[in-house]
Amino acid sequence: MPTFKDTAHAFIPYPEVSVPAAAKGPLTGLSFAVKDLFDVAGYPTSGGQPLMLAMSGIKTRTAPTVQRLLDAGALFIGKVVTDELAFSMNGNNAHFGAPINGAAPSRITGGSSSGSAAAVSNELADFALGTDTGGSVRAPASHCGLFGIRPTHGRISLEGCLDLSPSFDTCGWFARDAQTFSRVADVLLGLDTMPVASKLRLLAPTDVWGLLEPGPSLALTPARSRIEKTLGEAEPTKVVFGSFEDMYWNFRYLQGREAWATDGDFIERYSPPLGPGVSERFAWSKNVTDEQVAKARLFRSNFRDHLAQLLGTNGVLLMPTMPDVAPLRTDSEASLEDYRNRAIRMLCISGLSGFPQISLPLVKSNGSPLGISLLGPAGSDRSLIAIAEQLAG
């Protein structure tokens, strides 16, 4: 438990345990929080679920990715709330509460890395680790006015981290400023296998932009123009494969099958109380068929090839991160679910392809943050962050 006052309700109130960090390193002077999916020696790992917390026991080994940050001199200040079993995008955990959005307190943080985004946006931590399966870093980053990345799938280790859907799960992080974000990248990412920054070809997916309502589209226009002035005019293109409905459902079939494979035995054996939305998603996931999965795997392979061909070695998509600013905390569960389903149509582009996407906090709409994103080829993560630094400067 942090020694400071947790005004954001971001941290899990565990008894404080000493977690040693290197005295000097590239992250010396920075504090960080960790989503409660990652193991940290001396702490349990709850996955946002009370029964899983009860079964966890105290971990004796720290997840390698967390250890890399400690070895780089970053100071661990606590574990933070995640949506239940990481299977939500709202940031409202029925058991541990809803962390507060530091940039728009009347609006949700977004999930499932809700506590991570709340800790950073409320200036309680300099950066925070999260995970992104269907949008769980990108959505909170957009909602809370933060830099956030879903890296190339498999680029950062998830050893010692609870799974949701392993073929989609990634480790990302949040920061308020580009410089801090880049310092963390230097530690976690290493060199790109597909650098694009020096020979960038900017692309504007007209079909993705077409998913926006007039309000958010208008709000994003000045940032888009500014980016194009810096990087060159964006070439219109289309990324949709089949239709957005096809992309949405094939993503959901694969995510659902893997989520049930991960947590279904736990759910059926112990019948844990699951919060609204999470319960329904697992019930739906249980009934995904083998035929749906087989077709979805083929679809994903074809979509990945389609997007790889579109981007080549130096193409970068300029696109909205989310369909709108964060919903209000008072919105109904049905309204939140509708927003989540709209968002997945944008977010599944990176998820299905496994390609990196970074959300930049360059826009406000009606006083609330709204992210704009860069999405590049597999292995271009560090280049995207370098571009983000250039744009934020």
- pLDDT classification of 236: cutoffs 50, 70, 90: very high
Catalytic residue among 31, 46, 88, 112: 112
SS3 of residue 78 by DSSP: strand
pLDDT tens-digit readout, 323-364: 999 999 999 989 999 999 999 999 999 999 999 999 999 999
Q: Which is nearest to 375 in space by CA: 44, 135, 89?
A: 135
User: What residue has token string 């123009």?
Assistant: 225
> Does the structure show a pLDDT above 60 at 25?
yes
Question: 3-state SS of 2-22?
Answer: CCCCCCCCCECCCCCCCCCCC
Torsion angles phi and psi, residue 227, rounded to 5: -65, -40
Across the range 292-307, mean pLDDT stands at: 98
Question: Would you give the distance in Å from CA 13 to the centre of its chain?
Answer: 23
Note whether 84 and 95 are within 8 A (CB): yes
Residue 80: its H or E element: strand 75-80
Among 195-199, 234-238, 342-346, the range scoring the smallest mean pLDDT is 195-199
Mean pLDDT of the chain: 96
> Does the structure show a pLDDT above 50 at 1?
no
Catalytic residue among 136, 165, 368, 383: 136
Residue 393: per-residue pLDDT: 77
Residue 87: per-residue pLDDT: 98
Residue 197: per-residue pLDDT: 60
pLDDT tens-digit readout, 65-107: 999 999 999 999 999 999 999 999 999 999 999 999 999 999 9
136 as an active site residue: the answer is: yes
Domains and CATH numbers, the chain: 20-393 (3.90.1300.10)
Residue 165 burial class via C-beta count within 10 angstroms: exposed 0-12, middle 13-18, buried 19 and up: buried
Residue 122: per-residue pLDDT: 98
| Six-digit token string for 286 | 């249980």
| Six-digit token string for 33 | 């929080």
SS3 of residue 253 by DSSP: helix
Distance CA 132, CA 74 (A): 22
Cβ-proximal residues to 164 (8 Å cutoff; 6+ apart), any chain: 85, 86, 87, 131, 133, 255, 258, 259, 262, 263
pLDDT tens-digit readout, 202-219: 999 999 999 999 999 999
SS3 of residue 119 by DSSP: helix
- pLDDT classification of 2: cutoffs 50, 70, 90: low
> Does the structure show a pLDDT above 70 at 247?
yes
The single-letter DSSP state of residue 197 is G
> Does the structure show a pLDDT above 80 at 268?
yes
Torsion angles phi and psi, residue 373, rounded to 5: -120, 155
Catalytic residue among 35, 113, 359, 373: 35
> Does the structure show a pLDDT above 60 at 171?
yes
